[in-house]
Amino acid sequence: MGDKESQPLAVSSVMGSVVRAGLNTVPFAGGIASLWADWDTSRRFHRVEAAIIELGKSLSSVGDRFDPSRLGEAEMQLLEQTLERLSREHREWKRSYFVKLLASNWINVDRPFEERALFERALDEVDHVHLKILHFLKNEADLNADPIRINELYDSLFPAAEPDFKFGVFMPAMNLLAAQFGFIRRKAINTGKTMLGVNPDGLTFMAAAILAPLGRRFIDSIDLNAPHASQPPHTSDKVPG
């Protein structure tokens, strides 16, 4: 296992020690330090325990799509990485997505490890805004719709948002999905060519967006009931590094 993947666990352990040490130096806070240590350990344990139970139910629900005999070292590493991320996540809805993603990663063992690990990293970083964008673009793709202009996409999803939301939240979310993870393709409005290096202001006025195959597989991977959830990747798709 690489050093980068084990680093979050090590950092978490160090931070826990720092917090306990800091509390112990405060007068009358020794009891708080002990209480915090118990709570920190307990909450992580209960999150992991609940996730394992949910994982078992998810895998049981897919029937023959899951073959436990095909699990190997890659799947065990994905399990370890997912449980570490999940144990740190305080939001229940996102922990549930992590479980669904792990189940999908165990079902789709023919997918490259790099792609499945990418989906884990992406889920760790995205939030409701990112997922709302991806789900909208997936629905558009299901209707065989043309790429949607970025301004139209924004107005459809966030009609009542404050003005600062567009450039402070929406545009960074679009750039993350397009540039870092490759889940969205941005196309010039006039030529239809894929756009690569675009600043946020230019993206607003010069581009339209469409869901990339990699983005569809990501969304399907956190929805085990999706009709395309078990489809293998196309060899032409490139997984961002």
**For the chain, domain boundaries:** 3-109, 128-221
Nearest to 207 by CA among 184, 179, 188: 188
SS3 225: coil
- Tokens 């020794």 belong to which residue? 30
Nearest to 229 by CA among 131, 69, 108, 141: 108
* CA–CA distance, 69 with 107 (Å, rounded to integer): 11
- CATH class of the structural domain 128-221: mainly alpha
SS3 162: coil
Helix (H) or strand (E) holding 185: strand 184-188
Q: What is the pLDDT of residues 120-170, one digit of tens each?
A: 999 999 999 999 999 999 999 988 888 899 989 999 999 988 888 988 999
Confidence (pLDDT) at 239: 41
Helix (H) or strand (E) holding 57: helix 30-61
- Which residue numbers in the chain have pLDDT < 50? 1-12, 14-15, 18-23, 25-32, 36, 192, 198, 200-203, 227-241
pTM: 0.73
Q: What is the pLDDT of residues 103-129, one digit of tens each?
A: 999 999 999 999 999 999 999 999 999
